[in-house]
Structure 1
Amino acid sequence: MFLDHGNPTMSLARFLPFAALALVAAPLQAQPVRPFSLAALKAAQAAGKPVLVDAFAPWCPTCRAQAPTIDKLATDPAYKDLQILRLDYDNQTAEKKVLGISKQSTLITYKGNREVGRVLGITDPVQIRTFAASALR
């Protein structure tokens, strides 16, 4: 349909409106869940971005219950501005200390440099979404 072997420019000209439409119609997506680092947190804070830190341990049943909801936030356009950083609870000991995290399944929200919330062990998707949204207000 788009191929015109005799005139490659014409093929491209026919395709461009469809490509532009696809770009405009694509929904805005949230940022993917990224591995936690102090540098990533500081960069997001310096930019005034809202941040959700997830202290995750793969052996923790509460963390595993939280993860699907947090992962869905990363694809929800309503949370497109939220930076989600997943801290490796077992291996990021120094980072846990800096953030004052003493238990896995801790969630922390930041609005710029200011911590706006901290919860432990919530697994209800509505509560997690509401908590994450606190950084966006």
Structure 2
Amino acid sequence: MNKLFAGLVLLFGLMTGIASAQPFDEQTYKQLQSDNQLVLIDVKASWCPTCAKQGKILKRYFDNNPDSKITLLEVDFDDQKPWVTHFKAPRQSTLVLMQGEQRLWLSVAETREDKIVAALQAAEMK
């Protein structure tokens, strides 16, 4: 994905209040990181039932919080192994909440909605 397209996708999402997931790409991530933005990294695999449960929870969260300051980036567990390693994800179904260079939260295989929502809300209140 080129830088202009990634920026337009991000801008459109912010303007419309749609906080939909975007495929992870290094340029977008580094820009968000340099802007000290909240970024939720969702390390997932298409074949993973736990990832599907997390995806439903995240969709509900962002649907219910259209003004969320969190950008959701999806890392493909099977095809983006260097980034899986970078985020220290021990397996698919890993969620990593970042702000700038700081990791705020890491969760593996968490499917309790209250736990995921609490972590996202706590980050947004900082």
TM-score (norm 1): 0.72
Question: Bigger radius of gyration, 1 or 2?
Answer: 1
The answer (yes or no) to whether the contact 1:29–1:75 under 8 Å persists in 2 is: no
CA pair 84-132 structure 1, distance change in 2 beyond 3 A: same
Query: Does residue 129 in structure 1 map to residue 117 in structure 2?
Result: yes
Residue 3 of structure 2 aligns with which residue? none
Q: Secondary structure at the match of 1:134?
A: helix
Q: Write out per-residue CA displacement over residues 66-115 of structure 1, whole angstroms, 9 at most, x where no aligned residue.
A: 11111223333365211111111111111112222221111001122211
Give distance in 2, aligned partners of 1:133 and 1:91: 30
TM-score (norm 2): 0.78
Aligned equivalent of 2:41, options 53, 74, 77: 53
Q: Secondary structure at the match of 1:119?
A: strand
Aligned equivalent of 2:74, options 75, 83, 86: 86
| TM alignment of 1:1-137, pairs within 5 A | 29-77=17-65, 80-136=68-124, 137=126
How big is the alpha-carbon RMSD for the aligned residues of Structure 1 and Structure 2?
A: 2.0
Gaps of 5+ in 1: 1-27
- Percent identity over the alignment is 24
CA pair 131-30 structure 1, distance change in 2 beyond 3 A: farther
More displaced 10-residue stretch of structure 1: 68-77 or 118-127: 68-77
Moved over 6 A (4+): none
Gaps of 5+ in 2: 1-15
